[in-house]
Amino acid sequence: MEIERKLAELGIEVPAPPVPAAHYIPCVQVGNLLFVGGNTGRLNGQPHLYAGKVGEQVTLEQAYQMARHCALNHLAIIKSALGDLDRVERFVKLLGFVNVAPGFTKMPQVVNGASDLFIEIWGERGQHARAAVGVASLANEAPVETEVILQIRD
C-alpha cells in the first residue's frame, strides 16, 4: 500500500471511476500493459470545473488543473481495474489533447498537469513518453482529454 500511503501524505483523494459516456470500456489489459482510455476530467460525475477553449474561455492555469483532474480519473480507473495502485510498474505513455483557441501553443504546459501528478506520486516510475496535441474541439467543451498506457505487475 505504498502508493495509498503516498496519496494520503499528499492529501490526494482518488475519485469514483468515471462512467463511460459511449460504447467503450474504461481500460483494456494486454499482457503486462494497461491501456486506459481518454477522459476529460469530470470528477465524480460532476460537470467540468472549466469548459471551453484554452486561451479563450479557459486559462492555462485552469487547463493545467483540468489535466490534473484527468490524471485523478485515470487513478480511479487503474485502481478499479487492478485493485491496487502498487501494481503499476511504470507509466509508459501519456497522450493529451487540448481544446485550443486559435494561436494557443502551450499544450505541453497544460498536459504537465497530468504528468506532474504521476511523477509526484510514483517518482521515476511516473515518468513517461508523451504527446500534447492541440485540437479544434473536445466533447462537451472539455478543455483537456488524456489517455495513458501503463506497464503493470502481476
> Which domains are assigned to the chain?
2-152 (3.30.1330.40)
Task: Please tell me the predicted confidence (pLDDT) of residue 44.
Answer: 87
Q: Say yes or no to pLDDT of 38 above 90.
A: yes
pTM for this predicted structure: 0.96
CA distance 11 to 6: 9
| Helix/strand/coil percentages in the chain, nearest 5 | 40, 25, 35
**If pLDDT is split at 50, 70 and 90, which confidence band does 106 have?**
very high
Q: What's the pLDDT at 1?
A: 83
Per-residue burial over 121-134, b = 16 or more CB atoms within 10 Å of its CB, e = otherwise: bbeebbebebebeb
User: Quick one: pLDDT at residue 45?
Assistant: 84
82 band by pLDDT with thresholds 50, 70 and 90: very high
Planar angle of CA 35, 14, 88, nearest 5 degrees: 40
Residue type, 67: A
Phi, psi of 43, rounded to the nearest 5 degrees: -90, 135
20: pLDDT confidence band, cut at 50, 70 and 90? confident
What number is the average pLDDT over the span 59-74? Answer: 98
| Averaged pLDDT score across all residues of the chain | 96
Spatial separation of the C-alpha atoms in residues 143 and 42, rounded to whole Å: 11
pLDDT at 113 over 90: yes
